């Protein structure tokens, strides 16, 4: 075998703390290395060209590139070696940047380490074998989980692109958080006026199957061929019969049900349609409030329903769907405003969240768009807004900036002035974060045209005084304490990962960060992909973001799915398990442990049971290889011999030293 | 930032590609300094981690072995780390009987986002191995 | 044993339905019994059951898969059969178990320590707990309890895991007993350096004959053991203690959660290396971790072929 080694400077990223030329020089003495050199930027066009040329000039059989992490550029270099005429799997990377030059300061130690890592890669490469991908058919349907604006956009774009879409929404209507908003920044256009038509498009689109009030129960399979089970939660209303006339809601005697859509600022009926523009416009019974469920008698809705749609006996049901890709657009939830005891959220009725305030501002909200204090219905004249409630605060484990609160607070001060011209808004803020198109101008308008008073500082306490609230805080620009007598206090609550996000991630086998936001495959270059092929991200499930960014990601995820489905077949990763028929004794332990059902027992010609890998189902985890006592099933490209070679390469030096001592 | 004074010890790490290898990358991108003793072998999953690789490394002269994968329930392959946890815990418990300090081998979970945790793990484990000193030697 | 006549009669009765019945017969000298593969009534007459019948005959079962096999088995042997069944390495319907109450066992190493060269033994006879050994020079009366192999001192079995027919003498006592595992206790009283030196010393004597593997009822890899191949290349032919040590670890780890502590590995070792101790340690840990004892429940799933999302007995390291 003739191996070529290319050690990358990565400008000064590696060369700054590793003697790159020295590593290349050392590599010349490694087993079967026929050529070694250093390159300034191996991933650049001239860098790749140098590799291709060296392969051809020196008739190399395999290539080691010592550079950044293989999670970054392994595909790049595999393509390069393929251009040079080699099989793309005759290639190994040594990670001498993320795992070496960037984390160690001692140049000698780093150089020794880099040299070891190159030897390790060379030793592994010696056992590399050419691998060929297999093609398999794909199912060109896509599942979108979450019917907020990001999911709606993704579903519509996919459907317009000709794909069949299954859209899942856990509440009884699509629309998500955006449907609750009154106006949107920085244009102050009506939220439901721009979202409503899209929601209607979803319901009318021939390519979209919508399951509302449904959740993802389980996911099996892999890119191109997922099988998902959808749990349709019992609504107690036959949606095929329900026309959304609303008569049941009107007559329902249970009038104290919690209204999630209105953020609990006013009660709703035990049977309800969340809002007039709901899609689908269908009623749902909340059994925690329904008298029929609590007391066993009532039945008013069943009596009044003109289509006899009420079914108190309804059970959860399950539907199976086959799809080739999944877009998760599960959005976010709001920080629990009760966690800051000093602000009095949850204790004082006139301390409310920004989303509750949206519902007060909204013409279709419970107050008909009249701003009224929850305590006495009085119109507030002085409104205090407190920003960063659950953002940028390590003490509540929310060190990140939610990114949109500065903007919606500015919007709410403008709307407050619009609704109550003789009102005064005060905003306690840490910094103003307005880095979008027309965003900073917008916050300026709130201050300059609408007279909102911005006070840079935190609030220490909110407490009741007569029939109003005293907000005590600090003005850090003046260096003085301030106290404001407020009629209403609005807490600008931050975003957090939606409840149940981690459970869903586990079903989809995608990663999430410490806060429950889903991990993209690369923070800059693969922002809507996940590390699980065929699963994509859209919207705030990946991290807090505003409407334009969510819509952009929805479209981006759709574009990724459309690109994935542009071919009729996908190539499977050939790094799968391979059975040595001679060595397999047919004990079936691998069949028992394989998480994918990718191994089955078949009979050889003599009738002996032998394990058999279904290559397109195997995901390449290697669990079977460790389970098999005689190592008859080997994960290709990560074989026992390859890992043993790496262990030996790394321990060789230590072993020699131990013999010396 | 060497944990010991002067001589490095040989620490072999086995990391799953999806979580801990990415976590080590994240630590690198964030320039979170670490001792230089560790050398990392990339595995697709800790389910691929045969405990015998650990024994092989220790018998071949490694002073410490570290395995790190996805947190339980976060396995890219659903179940690999669950099996790994059983196998590796058992192997760790056998070490003292053989005359190896069980502290020479640790297995843990670090996600791709936990660069800081990776730095802590590498630093603490390297210090632990330096406290134990070089592994038992076979030459007489 | 008084039940031997009854046992022979039952085997004669069942033999027409079976391809072979495995038992023991007198071996090449007075102190050895050999496995007997009985296919004719004449061969059944040679069957013996006494404390010299030390082989765990379950070892032969996987190789006879596909045949109708009868097996004479002591209580502890049925544990190995249970494990083989559990792993589907043999089929229950192909198997007829003639379960005998164990008459006790003689560890020939211990006998040699008592009476010297075993080649000089003219006869050996058993009467309850007494063992009488005749050599040209003398007649010794020994206590069977003193001659028991280590495995009979740490695990006691009153009943078989499974049996089709059961043979017990009236008033026959269980010979094996549950005492402290002195080998393991002694090892654990050493410090780490001493333990390392202990194994380095013992394992350096290993001649890599693989008798321990060949006799093991759970080593079902047959001719495909990874010790004998270069693909994968786990072991080299180098006569280095590391290679020997590695082989023992491969054997032990491949038996983890499966080893039934029958002790055949240690009995077969020509170098008297205490390799069962490693397996006993693993079994003890498996019991502590997973509450599992191999071979006792044919329907159980071996602990390393399954998992719990929350492992109650595993406390993971914090950093």
* DSSP character at residue B136: P
Chains touching C (3+ CB pairs < 8 Å)? A, B
Report the C-alpha gap between A23 and A38 in whole angstroms.
8
Scan for tokens 């523009």, then name that residue.
A277
Query: What is the pLDDT, as a whole number, of residue A194?
Result: 96
Mapping DSSP to helix (H, G, I), strand (E, B) and coil, where does residue A324 land?
coil
Cα dist. A154→A147, A181, A190, A558, A561 in Å? 9, 20, 22, 5, 9
C146-174 CB burial, b ≥16 within 10 A, e <16: ebbbbbbbbbebeebbbbebebeeeebee
Please give the sequence-ordered ranges of beta strands (E in DSSP) within A284-423, or none if there are none: 284-285, 317-323, 325-328, 332-334, 351-353, 382-389
| Number of structural domains found in chain C | 2
The segment(s) of chain A belonging to CATH 3.30.70.20 are 236-314, 576-635
Choose from A97, A99, A108, A619 for mutation: most chain B CBs within 10 A: A99
Chains touching A (3+ CB pairs < 8 Å)? B, C
DSSP chain C: -TTHHHHHHHHHHHGGG-SEEEEEEE-SSTT-EEEEEE-SHHHHHTB--STT----GGGGTGGGTTS-EEEEE-HHHHHHHHHHHHTTSS-GGGEEEEEE-------HHHHHHHHS-GGG--EEEEETTEEEEE-SS-EEEEEHHHH--THHHH---SS-SS-SEEE--TTPPP-------HHHHHHHHS-HHHHHHHHHHHHHT-----HHHHT-TT---GGG-GGG-SSS----S---HHHHHHHHHHHHHHHTTT-----HHHHH-TT---THHHHHHHHHHHHHHH---TTS-TTPPPGGG---SS-TT--PPP-
Sequence-separated (6 or more) residues with CB below 8 Å from residue B4: B37, B126, B130
Task: Give residue C108's Cα distance to chain centre.
Answer: 14
* DSSP character at residue A27: H
Closest residue to B52, CB basis, from C194, C253, C290? C253
Shared domain for C34 and C175, answered yes or no, is: yes
Give the domain A236-314 fold: Alpha-Beta Plaits (3.30.70)
Query: What is the pLDDT, as a whole number, of residue A596?
Result: 86
Cα dist. A456→A366, A478, A492 in Å? 33, 9, 15
Q: Is the pLDDT of residue B73 over 90?
A: no
Sequence-separated (6 or more) residues with CB below 8 Å from residue A528: A520, A536, A537, A538, A542, A553, A556, A557, A560
Q: Residue C216 forms beta bridges with which residues?
A: none
Radius of gyration of chain C (CA): 21
Q: Do B91 and C253 touch (CB under 8 A)?
A: yes
What angle separates helix A45-58 from helix A70-83, to the nearest 10 degrees? 50
Q: Is the pLDDT of residue B124 over 80?
A: yes
Q: Which chain C residues contact residue A639 at CB under 8 A?
A: 232
Question: Is residue A96 within 8 Å of residue A64, measured between CB atoms?
Answer: no
Q: Which chain A residues contact residue B56 at CB under 8 A?
A: 644, 647
The CATH class that applies to domain A333-496 reads alpha beta
Shared domain for C85 and C45, answered yes or no, is: yes
Q: What is the mean pLDDT of chain C?
A: 95
Domain limits for position B47: 11-132
Q: Residue A166 forms beta bridges with which residues?
A: A143, A209
Query: What is the pLDDT, as a whole number, of residue C255?
Result: 95
Looking at the structure, give the CATH architecture of the domain made up of residues A3-133.
Answer: 3-Layer(aba) Sandwich (3.40)
Shared domain for C144 and C202, answered yes or no, is: no
Q: Identify the CATH number of the domain in which residue B77 sits.
A: 3.40.50
Q: Which chain B residues contact residue A219 at CB under 8 A?
A: none
Q: Is the pLDDT of residue C238 over 90?
A: no
pLDDT tens digits for A69-101? 999 899 999 999 999 999 999 999 999 999 999
Helix residue ranges per DSSP H, A524-594 = 547-564, 589-593
Query: Which residues of chain B approach chain C closer than 8 Å at the C-beta?
Result: 51-52, 55-56, 59-60, 72-73, 79, 82-83, 85-87, 89-91, 93-94, 96-101, 106-109, 117, 120-121, 124, 136, 138
Cα dist. C257→A372, A587, C274, C304 in Å? 69, 16, 19, 7
The segment(s) of chain A belonging to CATH 3.50.50.60 are 141-233+316-331+500-564, 333-496
pLDDT tens digits for A204-242? 999 999 999 999 999 988 899 999 999 999 999 999 999
Q: What is the mean pLDDT of residues C4-33?
A: 97
| Number of structural domains found in chain B | 1
Sequence-separated (6 or more) residues with CB below 8 Å from residue C136: C120, C122
* DSSP character at residue A582: T
Radius of gyration of chain B (CA): 14
Query: What is the pLDDT, as a whole number, of residue A660?
Result: 46
Mapping DSSP to helix (H, G, I), strand (E, B) and coil, where does residue A355 land?
helix
Nearest partner of A282 among A293, A274, A270, A294, judged by Cα: A274
Shared domain for C54 and C68, answered yes or no, is: yes
Report the C-alpha gap between C42 and C187 in whole angstroms.
49
Cα dist. A594→A626, B80, B84, B87 in Å? 11, 9, 13, 16
Nearest partner of C7 among C170, C173, C167, C174, judged by Cα: C167
Cα dist. B121→A70, A255, B83, B110 in Å? 22, 56, 22, 9
Query: What is the pLDDT, as a whole number, of residue A99?
Result: 97
Q: Is the pLDDT of residue B2 over 50?
A: no
Q: Decide which of C133, C155, C179 is a domain's last residue.
A: C179
Report the C-alpha gap between A320 and B98 in whole angstroms.
52
Shared domain for C24 and C142, answered yes or no, is: yes
Does some domain include residue B139?
no
Report the C-alpha gap between B55 and B49 in whole angstroms.
11
Q: How many CA atoms lie within 13 A of C232 on its CB side?
A: 27
* DSSP character at residue A257: B
Residue of A nearest to B79 (CA): A595
Q: What share of chain B is helix, strand, coil (3-state, %, to 5)?
A: 45, 15, 40
Q: What is the mean pLDDT of residues C72-89?
A: 95
Query: What is the pLDDT, as a whole number, of residue B3?
Result: 43
Report the C-alpha gap between B99 and C199 in whole angstroms.
8
A243 is written with which tokens? 């026309």
Query: Of chain A residues 480-519, which have a CB less than 8 A from chain B?
Result: 502, 505-506, 509, 511-514, 519
Domain limits for position C100: 1-179
Asked if the C-beta of C162 comes within 8 angstroms of chain B's C-beta atoms, the answer is: no
Question: Is residue C90 within 8 Å of residue C58, measured between CB atoms?
Answer: no
Q: Residue A611 forms beta bridges with which residues?
A: A601
DSSP A84-103: TTS-TTSEEEEE-IIIIITT
Radius of gyration of chain A (CA): 31
Shared domain for C170 and C208, answered yes or no, is: no
Query: What is the pLDDT, as a whole number, of residue A120?
Result: 98
Shared domain for C67 and C196, answered yes or no, is: no
pLDDT tens digits for A487-543? 999 999 999 999 999 999 989 988 888 899 999 988 888 999 998 889 999 999 999
Shared domain for C52 and C149, answered yes or no, is: yes
Size of interface A-C (CB pairs under 8 A): 44
Query: What is the pLDDT, as a whole number, of residue C223?
Result: 84
Does some domain include residue B124?
yes
Closest residue to C232, CB basis, from A584, A593, A639? A639
Q: Decide which of C163, C179, C195 is a domain's last residue.
A: C179
A177 is written with which tokens? 């958080």
pLDDT tens digits for A125-159? 999 999 999 899 999 999 999 999 999 999 999 99
Cα torsion at C148, C149, C154, C156 (round to 10°)?
-60
What angle separates helix A405-419 from helix A354-361, to the nearest 10 degrees? 30
Q: Decide which of C124, C155, C179 is a domain's last residue.
A: C179
Cα dist. B92→B56, B89, B135, C174 in Å? 13, 5, 15, 36
What angle separates helix C241-255 from helix B51-59, to the nearest 10 degrees? 160
Looking at the structure, give the CATH architecture of the domain made up of residues A576-635.
Answer: 2-Layer Sandwich (3.30)
Helix residue ranges per DSSP H, A525-622 = 547-564, 589-593
Closest residue to A585, CB basis, from C220, C234, C305? C220
Does some domain include residue B89?
yes
Q: Do B1 and A70 touch (CB under 8 A)?
A: no
Query: What is the pLDDT, as a whole number, of residue A661?
Result: 42
Query: What is the pLDDT, as a whole number, of residue A98?
Result: 97
A285 is written with which tokens? 């019974």
Q: Which chain C residues contact residue A644 at CB under 8 A?
A: 232-234
Report the C-alpha gap between C203 and C251 in whole angstroms.
13
Question: Is residue B5 within 8 Å of residue B103, measured between CB atoms?
Answer: no
Q: Is the pLDDT of residue B4 over 50?
A: no
Q: Which chain A residues contact residue B2 at CB under 8 A?
A: 106, 109
Q: Which residues of chain A have pLDDT under 70?
A: 653-661
Report the C-alpha gap between A569 and C187 in whole angstroms.
60
CATH of domain A141-233+316-331+500-564: 3.50.50.60
Report the C-alpha gap between C9 and C2 in whole angstroms.
13
Does some domain include residue B104?
yes
């Amino acid at each position: 075998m003739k191996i070529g080694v290319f050690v990358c400077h990565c400008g000064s990223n590696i060369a700054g703390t590793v003697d790159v030329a020295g590593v290349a020089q050392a590599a010349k003495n490694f087993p079967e290395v026929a050529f070694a050199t250093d390159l300034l930027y191996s991933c650049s066009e001239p860098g790749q060209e140098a590799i291709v040329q060296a392969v051809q000039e020196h008739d190399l059989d395999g290539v080691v590139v010592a550079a950044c992490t293989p999670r970054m550029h392994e595909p790049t270099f595999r393509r390069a070696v393929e251009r040079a005429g080699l099989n793309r799997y005759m290639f190994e990377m040594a990670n001498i940047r993320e795992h070496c030059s960037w984390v160690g300061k001692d140049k000698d130690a780093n150089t020794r380490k880099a040299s070891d890592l190159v030897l390790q890669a060379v030793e592994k490469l010696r056992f590399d074998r050419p691998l060929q991908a297999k093609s398999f058919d794909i199912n060109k349907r896509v599942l979108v989980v979450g019917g907020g604006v990001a999911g709606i956009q993704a579903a519509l774009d996919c459907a317009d692109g000709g794909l069949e879409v299954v859209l899942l929404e856990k509440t009884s209507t699509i629309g998500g958080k955006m449907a609750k908003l009154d106006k949107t920044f920085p244009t102050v256009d009506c939220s439901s006026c721009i979202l409503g038509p899209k929601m209607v498009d979803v319901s009318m689109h021939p390519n979209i199957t919508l399951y509302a009030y449904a959740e993802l129960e389980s996911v099996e399979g892999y890119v191109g061929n997922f099988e998902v089970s959808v749990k349709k939660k019992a609504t107690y209303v036959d949606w095929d019969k329900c026309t959304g006339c609303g008569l049941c809601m009107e007559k329902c005697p249970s009038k104290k049900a919690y209204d999630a859509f209105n953020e609990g600022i006013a009660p709703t009926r035990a049977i309800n349609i969340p809002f007039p523009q709901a899609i689908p416009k269908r009623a749902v019974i909340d059994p925690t409030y329904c008298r029929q469920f609590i007391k066993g008698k009532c039945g008013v809705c069943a009596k009044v329903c003109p289509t006899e749609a009420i079914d108190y006996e309804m059970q959860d049901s399950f539907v199976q769907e086959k799809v080739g890709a999944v877009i998760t657009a599960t959005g976010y939830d709001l920080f629990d405003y009760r966690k800051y005891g000093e602000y009095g959220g949850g204790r004082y009725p006139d301390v409310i969240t920004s989303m509750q305030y949206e519902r007060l501002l909204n013409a279709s909200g419970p107050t008909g768009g009249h701003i009224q204090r929850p305590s006495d219905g009085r119109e507030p004249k002085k409104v205090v807004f407190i920003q960063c409630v659950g953002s940028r605060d390590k003490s509540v484990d929310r060190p990140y900036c939610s990114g949109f609160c500065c903007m919606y607070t500015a919007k709410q001060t403008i709307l407050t002035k619009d609704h109550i011209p003789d009102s005064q808004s005060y905003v306690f803020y840490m910094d103003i974060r307005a880095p979008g198109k027309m965003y900073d101008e917008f916050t300026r308008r709130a201050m300059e045209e609408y007279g909102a008073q911005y006070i840079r500082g935190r609030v220490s306490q909110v407490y009741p005084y007569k029939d109003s609230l005293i907000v005590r805080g600090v003005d850090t620009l003046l260096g003085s304490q301030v106290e404001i007598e407020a009629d209403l206090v609005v807490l600008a609550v931050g975003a957090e990962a939606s409840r149940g996000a981690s459970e869903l991630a586990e079903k989809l086998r995608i990663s999430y960060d410490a806060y429950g936001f889903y991990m993209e495959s690369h923070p800059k270059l693969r922002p809507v992909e996940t590390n699980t092929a065929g699963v994509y991200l859209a919207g705030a499930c990946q991290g807090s973001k505003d409407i334009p960014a969510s819509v952009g990601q929805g479209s981006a995820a759709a574009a990724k799915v459309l690109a994935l489905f542009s071919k009729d077949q996908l190539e499977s990763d050939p790094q799968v398990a391979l059975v040595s028929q001679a060595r397999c004794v047919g004990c079936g332990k691998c069949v028992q442990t394989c998480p994918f059902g990718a191994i089955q027992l078949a009979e050889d010609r003599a009738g002996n049971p032998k394990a058999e890998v279904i290559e397109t189902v195997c995901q390449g985890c290697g669990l079977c290889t460790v389970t098999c006592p005689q190592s008859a099933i080997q994960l290709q490209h990560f074989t026992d011999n390859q890992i043993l070679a790496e262990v030996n390469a790394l321990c060789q030096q230590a072993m020699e030293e131990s013999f010396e001592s | 930032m060497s944990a010991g004074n002067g001589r490095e010890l040989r620490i072999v790490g086995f990391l799953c590609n999806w979580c801990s290898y990415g976590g080590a990358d994240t630590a690198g991108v964030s320039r979170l300094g670490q001792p230089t003793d560790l050398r990392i072998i990339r595995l697709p999953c800790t389910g691929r981690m045969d405990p015998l690789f650990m024994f092989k490394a220790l018998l071949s002269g490694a002073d410490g072995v570290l395995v790190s994968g996805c947190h339980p329930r976060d396995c890219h392959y659903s179940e690999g780390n669950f099996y790994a946890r059983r196998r590796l815990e058992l192997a760790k418990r056998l070490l003292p009987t053989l005359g190896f300090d069980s502290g020479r081998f640790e297995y843990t979970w670090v996600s791709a986002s936990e660069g800081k945790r990776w730095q802590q793990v590498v630093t603490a484990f390297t210090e632990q191995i330096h406290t134990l000193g070089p592994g038992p030697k076979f030459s007489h | 044993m008084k039940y031997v006549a009854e046992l022979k009669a039952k085997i004669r009765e069942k033999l027409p339905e079976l391809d072979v019945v495995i038992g023991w017969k007198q071996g090449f000298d007075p102190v050895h019994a050999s496995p007997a593969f009985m296919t004719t009534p004449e061969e059944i007459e040679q069957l013996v059951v006494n404390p010299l019948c030390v082989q765990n005959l379950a070892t032969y079962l996987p190789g006879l898969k596909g045949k109708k096999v009868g097996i004479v088995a002591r209580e502890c042997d049925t544990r190995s059969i249970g494990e083989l069944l559990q792993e589907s390495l043999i089929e229950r319907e192909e198997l007829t178990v003639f379960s005998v109450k164990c008459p006790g066992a003689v560890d020939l190493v211990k006998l040699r320590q008592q009476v010297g060269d075993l080649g000089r033994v003219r006869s050996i006879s058993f009467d309850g707990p007494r063992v009488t050994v005749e050599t040209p020079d003398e007649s010794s009366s020994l206590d069977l309890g003193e001659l028991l192999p280590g495995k009979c001192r740490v695990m006691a079995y009153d009943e078989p895991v499974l049996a089709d027919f059961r043979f017990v003498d009236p008033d026959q006592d269980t010979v094996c007993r549950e005492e402290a595992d002195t080998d393991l206790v002694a090892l654990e009283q050493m410090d780490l350096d001493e333990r390392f030196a202990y194994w380095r010393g013992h394992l350096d004597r290993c001649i890599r004959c693989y008798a321990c593997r060949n006799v093991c009822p759970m080593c079902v890899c047959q001719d495909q053991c990874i010790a004998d191949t270069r693909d994968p290349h786990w072991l080299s032919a180098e006569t280095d203690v590391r290679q020997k040590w590695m082989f023992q670890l491969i054997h032990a780890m491949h038996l983890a959660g499966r080893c039934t502590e029958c002790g055949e590995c240690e009995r077969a070792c020509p170098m008297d290396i205490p390799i069962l101790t490693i397996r006993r340690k693993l079994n003890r840990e498996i019991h502590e971790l997973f509450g599992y004892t191999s071979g006792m429940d044919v329907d159980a799933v071996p602990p390393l072929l399954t998992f719990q999302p929350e492992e109650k007995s595993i406390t993971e390291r914090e950093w």
